């Protein structure tokens, strides 16, 4: 089967592409390397065709989609701060390019389309756990764009019979996640700092909670969504289903590293969500998905990856 993975040089996209190649599928990767990395593409092994280009360019889409049977769409402005700084660019990439890709997919007879959505859709709604039927409360252009993408995915299923699904990722972590970006996620920042015996910076009191999911489990969710014959534009939480505080995350990393590094607390950031944990019942019932890699095991693998890179 021939798949198109947009954003395939990125953190999650490159893992999805690698899994598809490993099972013998053909993969086309589209990425402009604005946030993805060449080394992630170099790590891919198998029948892979790389198109370096902007997903907003119709000619890039037209060339990449030829002969494709399924699409996994991860190309995006994937940062809340970046979206706040440039809402128009976020809209162009995360909304308009998604619509163009869906239109091209329908015209080309592509029947399956999996969209990388985000738990940012829930905003600061205090209700826990987060359920897919809760009203979205996006608090950034990034979140607005991801919610719009979800609706387009659903509409294309309802109007045109495409098999589509939107996977709402919570806090994904693992190898290939960039710790050096200005918008890096918390785990790669902590790991890269603590491996070098530095104190991790924690904003606020550290009692805010998050729901972490190791990247191989997210890949499994994508493969299950692609295989689901009854997909009709559903929005599905993909997460571990367990909350952990940032302070406990630091403690868990100290256990893995054999260190006792105390966090360095900084002023709380405005707009940060206090608590987040997913209801993963729909993922279980619809896809047979459950997170299989524990937080401690995922942290161990992530630390090994960072150490192997020197």
Which residues participate in catalysis according to the annotation? 142
Q: Which stretch of DSSP H or E encloses residue 225?
A: helix 215-227
Task: Give the torsion sign (CA, 278, 281, 283, 289).
Answer: positive
Cβ-based neighbours of 157, under 8 Å, separated by 6 or more: 163, 164, 231, 232, 233
Task: Please check whether residue 216 is in contact with residue 184, taking contact to mean a CB–CB distance below 8 angstroms.
Answer: no
Using H for helix, E for strand and C for coil, what is the string for 76-101? Answer: CCCCHHHHHHCHHHHHHHHHHHHHHH
Q: Is 103 helix (H, G, I), strand (E, B) or coil?
A: helix
Q: Is 70 helix (H, G, I), strand (E, B) or coil?
A: strand
Phi and psi for 270 in degrees, rounded to 5? -65, 140
- Let me know how many helices (H) and strands (E) the chain has, helices first: 12, 13
Residue 88: count other Cβ atoms within 10 Å of its Cβ. 9
Written as six digits, the tokens of 142 are: 């990034």
Q: Which stretch of DSSP H or E encloses residue 39?
A: helix 38-42
- CA distances in angstroms from 235 to 94, 117, 118, 119, 238, listed in the order given: 17, 8, 10, 11, 10
Task: Please check whether residue 266 is in contact with residue 203, taking contact to mean a CB–CB distance below 8 angstroms.
Answer: yes
């Amino acid at each position: 089967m021939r798949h198109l993975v947009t954003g395939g040089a990125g953190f999650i996209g490159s893992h999805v592409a690698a899994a598809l190649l490993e099972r013998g599928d053909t993969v086309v990767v589209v990425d402009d390397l604005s946030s993805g990395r060449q080394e992630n593409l170099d790590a891919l092994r198998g029948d892979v065709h790389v198109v370096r280009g902007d997903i907003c360019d119709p000619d890039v889409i037209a060339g990449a989609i030829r002969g494709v049977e399924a699409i996994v769409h991860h190309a995006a402005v994937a940062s809340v701060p970046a979206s706040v700084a440039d809402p128009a660019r976020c809209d162009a990439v995360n909304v308009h390019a998604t619509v163009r890709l869906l239109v091209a997919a329908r015209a080309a007879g592509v029947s399956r389309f999996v969209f990388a959505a985000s738990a940012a859709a829930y905003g600061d709604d205090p209700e826990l756990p987060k359920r897919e039927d809760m009203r979205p409360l996006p608090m950034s252009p990034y979140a607005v764009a991801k919610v719009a993408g979800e609706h387009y995915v659903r509409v294309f299923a309802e109007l045109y019979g495409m098999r589509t699904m939107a996977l709402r990722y919570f806090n994904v972590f693992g190898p290939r996640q960039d710790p050096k970006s200005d918008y890096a996620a918390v785990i790669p920042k902590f790991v890269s700092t603590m491996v070098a015996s530095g104190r991790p910076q924690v904003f606020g009191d550290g009692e805010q909670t998050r729901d972490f999911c190791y990247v191989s489990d997210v890949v499994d969710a994508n493969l299950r969504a692609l295989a689901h014959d009854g997909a009709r534009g559903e929005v599905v939480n993909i997460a571990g289903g367990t909350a952990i505080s940032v302070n406990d995350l630091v403690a868990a990393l100290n256990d893995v590293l054999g260190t006792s590094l105390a966090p360095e607390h900084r002023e709380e950031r405005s707009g940060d969500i206090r608590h987040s944990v997913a209801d993963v019942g729909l993922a279980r019932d619809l896809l047979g998905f459950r997170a299989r890699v524990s937080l401690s095991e995922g942290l161990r693998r992530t630390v090994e990856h960072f150490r192997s890179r020197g």
